[in-house]
A = this chain, B = another copy of it.
Amino acid sequence: MLLPLLEIDHPLVQAPMAGISTPAMAAAVASAGALGSIGVGATDAAGARKMIAAFREQSKRSLNVNVFCHAPAKADEARQARWIERLRPEFAQQSATPPAKLTEIYRSFLVDDDMLAAFVAERPKVVSFHFGIPSTDRVRALRDAGIVVLGSATSLAEARRLVDGGAQAVVAQGYEAGGHRGMFDPDAADDRLGTFALTRILARELPVPVIAAGGIMDGAGISAALRLGAAAAQLGTAFVLCPESAADEGYRRAMTSDAAHHTVMTRAISGRPARCLANRFTGWAATNAVSDAEIPDYPIAYDLGKALHAAGKAAAGKDFGFGAQWAGQGAPLARSLPAAEMVAKLVAET
């Protein structure tokens, strides 16, 4: 049911990792018969069109384009100023100064008419949502254009909102998953449901197919997800070390270090909870007991996080420790293979 809907051969989705996945990765995955994905949440409509075009030059198969559907950030200049001061000493250690002001570095798809228009014009096979779901008329516009619509949920309640809102399948994102946790409201209590429990509960309760995500790294994991009732598995961390990934050398080195055994859910880097390899940034947040209330809204905080990462990389010591080194709890099992070979291996193992 899900596979014909997505027009793929294997129950496998390469996760859309904004900033890490690339059109080349998605194309290699798609051409190998799985669902290739790109994240365009951190770019604008023109950027998204370029990425879709780059994919299409390399593959005729199914593409999933992922967008962020967070409530638009509320600027709070005082809090933002305090946050800049909080991190100023870390910039100083990199012989750098923080930016004077922070901005909302990209727009939520909830309010991005240009992005919607780009999708309706370009018609990727799939559009998927993270952090929420757009209004019914926006979802209808996508579906009327023949686009399959997916959403990501961390709880049964969120999953039901996705289904009610028109999602045709739901990604069950377990607490193990790397990168941004898809919870709709980052300030709400989080039940932290693991992939095992969440997948089984959603598979039992939802009228649409479930795609399991979080901690799945190999064919055994995909097979286990299917046993739990999922129609497919979504793997992100498993693709970070692929040559087609945009991960920098520091990120790749950290993925193969002991840090892979110690991922941390942190809000300090971007303003929203996200699972990251234990690094200098997560260590700083823990040591300084940073509270959620101090951190500016996503993605305003990310403006500073990205600046600090850039300062570290540019410094004489080439410090990669402030990177958004997103990774799931399965990181120790990551392998370095070209994306097409990775898909073939995963399929053979399953």
Contacts and interface: CB of A to CB of B under 8 A. Distances in A.
A229 interface: yes
Interface string A227-269: 1110000000000000000000000000000000111010000
Residue of A157, A192, A225, A263 with most partner-chain B CB within 10 A: A192
Given A201-B333, A333-B204, A194 B194 contact: yes
B261 A156 contact: yes
A90 interface: no
Interface residues of A, number: 41
Interface stretch (A6-14, A145-153, A209-217): A209-217
Nearest to A191: B262
Interface stretch (A65-73, A123-131, A324-332): A324-332
A74 to B, nearest CB: 24
Given A215-B200, A220-B200, A329 B227 contact: no
A328 B265 CA distance: 20
A153 to B, nearest CB: 13
Interface in A305-344: 328-330, 332-333
The residue among A155, A201, A265 with the most chain B CB atoms within 10 A of its own CB is A201
Interface in A17-61: none
Given A191-B263, A201-B333, A196 B214 contact: yes
B195 A194 contact: yes
A165 interface: no
A224 interface: yes
Contacts of A221: 196, 200, 228
B261 A197 contact: no
A131 to B, nearest CB: 21
Interface in A151-196: 155-157, 174-176, 189, 191-196
A223 B199 CA distance: 14
A224 B221 CA distance: 8
23 contacts: A155-B261, A156-B332, A174-B194, A175-B175, A175-B194, A176-B194, A191-B261, A191-B262, A194-B195, A195-B195, A196-B196, A196-B214, A196-B215, A196-B330, A198-B329, A200-B220, A200-B221, A200-B330, A200-B333, A201-B332, A220-B227, A220-B228, A224-B224
Given A176-B194, A197-B217, A220-B227, 12 more contacts: A156-B261, A176-B196, A192-B329, A194-B329, A195-B195, A197-B330, A200-B218, A200-B220, A200-B330, A220-B229, A223-B227, A224-B225
Interface of A: 155-157, 174-176, 189, 191-198, 200-201, 203-204, 214-218, 220-221, 223-225, 227-229, 261-263, 265, 328-330, 332-333
